């Protein structure tokens, strides 16, 4: 526990130091109060105080009695010899760690006289952090944002409309990916990569169990049969499951979509919800061919430990597996949970604040990110997808694109989570599912709760 606390305070120390050295927090500027830093970075008061003490010891900040902690007026930060582009990104975030460096490299090859500095804010409070960034003294030129964080934003109007400046580049992007980032027909954020939620499987385990790999047209019965054959029990303990999934709302609604839910669904919504939750309940607790997990690392993820044969995942999650050095190459299978070819989408986009000092360079960075060669680079060297259909078609075969449900017009069947549910509904759903995932609440009872939540939201 002591080592963990030391790591946490050093992380905050480095974050605040980074903001000071990059000029985001300037001499004479006050940091957020201790209680706000605790809330903002989800740290204990002891960790925050220890970080501030270290910053004071190193001469970065001074404490003013009754006022707070201020960046030292005596601190001399040399002016850079070149222009500096400040990019704000969430942390932790796989694309920020694995995909953004590829864009950075391409940009710096084109603009060697420009220095790029990354500023990080905690990903789980990113939308709120963006709103408070001005108060925190952070004024970036460019912001990396996910569709989820964008849907939570309250100040999207504080960013530039990029529709005119990027008219040529926007023509090649899947229209489905642009729609979630519109604000009164203005394009506030430009998607640079995306992922569907898809089914990955371990071909080695299929071969070991003497089971044929999933076919493009397999159905739910085929899936359950395979999951049963791939579930291995020894001494009354299941040592390998056929299927595993993270019990997050960014995964399980795939079952709803596969069974016919759309943003326009009005009739039979309760039946769709009940059918989908019943399928999950049977897989987890009656047939016992599936399990859930909370830890995405190698230690807690049964799929990358070869303790489950199939899993729901995304290209963003798969990119983090590269660090785990897993002993097999995941393959892709079509989702078999219903009669509708549909799945959830996630995306990352770039935004330029209206207050950007180097808006021209920020625009050039976005254009670099949308360059087909750069898009192709992070598709080939990483498991990410391009926002351009032409690039995806060039680097991936049709079978893979079909399995990902993005081949040709299939992408239009998919939806972002906030297209299906409001932020309030998402929070309510998440709070109501704890007992369900433990097997202590029936799908019938949970379906009724969901129906009430949806009806109340519709009335409001």
Spatial separation of the C-alpha atoms in residues 77 and 22, rounded to whole Å: 9
Superfamily of domain 83-196+346-407: Periplasmic binding protein-like II (3.40.190.10)
Spatial separation of the C-alpha atoms in residues 146 and 347, rounded to whole Å: 6
Among residues 279, 334, 343, 340, the alpha carbon closest in space to that of 310 is found at 334
Predicted confidence (pLDDT) per residue in 283-321, tens digit: 999 999 999 998 776 678 999 999 999 999 999 999 988
Rounded mean pLDDT, 157-185: 92
**Ramachandran assignment for 29, one of left (phi > 0), alpha (psi -120 to 50 degrees), beta (any other):** beta
| Range name among 288-292, 293-297, 378-382, 391-395 with the lowest pLDDT average | 293-297
How does residue 161 score in pLDDT terms, banded at 50, 70 and 90?
A: very high
Spatial separation of the C-alpha atoms in residues 93 and 125, rounded to whole Å: 12
Q: Parallel, antiparallel, or unpaired for β 237-245 and 415-416?
A: unpaired
Question: Is-cis flag, bond preceding 92, omega within 30?
Answer: yes
| Range name among 2-11, 204-213, 300-309, 408-417 with the lowest pLDDT average | 2-11
In this structure, how many other beta carbons lie within 10 angstroms of the beta carbon of residue 257? 25
Residue 5 has pLDDT above 70, yes or no: no
Shared fold status for 83-196+346-407 and 198-342+421-459: yes
How does residue 3 score in pLDDT terms, banded at 50, 70 and 90?
A: very low
In this structure, how many other beta carbons lie within 10 angstroms of the beta carbon of residue 97? 14
Residue 77 has pLDDT above 90, yes or no: no
For the chain, the average pLDDT equals: 90
Domain 2-71 class, CATH top level: mainly alpha
Under 8 Å between Cβ of 217 and 164: no
How does residue 80 score in pLDDT terms, banded at 50, 70 and 90?
A: low
User: What residue ranges do the domains of the chain occupy?
Assistant: 2-71, 83-196+346-407, 198-342+421-459
What predicted TM-score, i.e. pTM, was given to this entire model?
Answer: 0.85
Q: Name the architecture of domain 198-342+421-459.
A: 3-Layer(aba) Sandwich (3.40)
Give how far Cα 34 sits from Cα of 39, 50, 123, 385, Å: 9, 11, 20, 41
Spatial separation of the C-alpha atoms in residues 449 and 233, rounded to whole Å: 35
pLDDT of residue 136: 67
């Amino acid at each position: 526990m002591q080592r963990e606390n030391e790591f946490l305070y050093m992380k905050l120390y480095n974050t605040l130091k980074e903001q000071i050295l990059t000029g985001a927090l300037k001499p004479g500027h006050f940091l957020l109060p201790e209680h706000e830093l605790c809330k903002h970075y989800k740290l204990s008061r002891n960790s925050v105080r220890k970080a501030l003490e270290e910053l004071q010891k190193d001469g970065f900040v001074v404490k003013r009695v009754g006022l707070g902690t201020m960046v030292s007026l005596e601190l001399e930060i040399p002016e850079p010899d070149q222009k500096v582009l400040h990019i704000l990104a969430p942390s932790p975030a796989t694309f920020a760690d694995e995909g953004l460096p590829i864009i950075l490299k391409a940009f710096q090859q084109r603009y060697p006289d420009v220095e790029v500095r990354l500023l990080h804010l905690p990903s789980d409070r990113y939308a709120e952090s963006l709103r408070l960034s001005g108060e925190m003294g952070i004024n970036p030129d460019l912001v990396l944002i996910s569709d989820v964080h964008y849907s939570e934003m309250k100040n999207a109007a504080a960013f530039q409309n990029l529709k005119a400046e990027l008219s040529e580049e926007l023509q090649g992007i899947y229209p489905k990916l642009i729609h979630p980032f519109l604000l009164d027909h203005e394009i506030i954020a430009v998607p640079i990569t995306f992922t569907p939620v898809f089914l990955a499987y371990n071909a080695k385990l299929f071969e070991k169990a003497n089971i044929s790999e999933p076919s493009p047209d397999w159905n739910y019965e085929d899936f359950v049969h395979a999951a049963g054959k791939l579930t291995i029990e020894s001494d009354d303990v299941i040592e390998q499951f056929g299927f595993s999934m993270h019990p997050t709302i960014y995964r399980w609604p795939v079952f709803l979509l596969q069974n016919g839910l759309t943003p326009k669904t009005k009739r039979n919504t309760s039946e769709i919800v009940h059918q989908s939750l019943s399928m999950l309940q049977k897989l987890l607790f009656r047939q016992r061919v599936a399990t859930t997990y909370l830890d995405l690392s190698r230690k807690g993820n049964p799929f990358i430990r070869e303790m489950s044969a199939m899993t729901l995942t995304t290209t963003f999650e798969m990119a983090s597996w590269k660090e785990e050095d897993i002993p097999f190459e995941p393959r892709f299978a079509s989702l078999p949970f219903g009669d509708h070819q549909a799945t959830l989408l996630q995306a990352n986009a770039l935004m330029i604040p209206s207050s950007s000092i180097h808006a021209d360079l920020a625009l050039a960075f976005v254009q670099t990110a949308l360059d087909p060669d750069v898009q192709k680079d992070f598709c080939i060297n990483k498991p990410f997808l391009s926002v351009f259909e032409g690039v995806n078609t060039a680097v991936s075969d049709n079978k893979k694109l079909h399995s990902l449900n993005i081949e040709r017009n299939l992408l239009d069947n998919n939806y972002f989570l906030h297209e299906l549910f409001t932020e309030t509904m998402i929070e309510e759903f998440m709070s109501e599912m704890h007992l369900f995932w433990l097997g202590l609440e029936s799908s019938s009872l949970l379906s009724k709760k969901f129906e009430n939540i949806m009806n109340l939201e519709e009335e409001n």
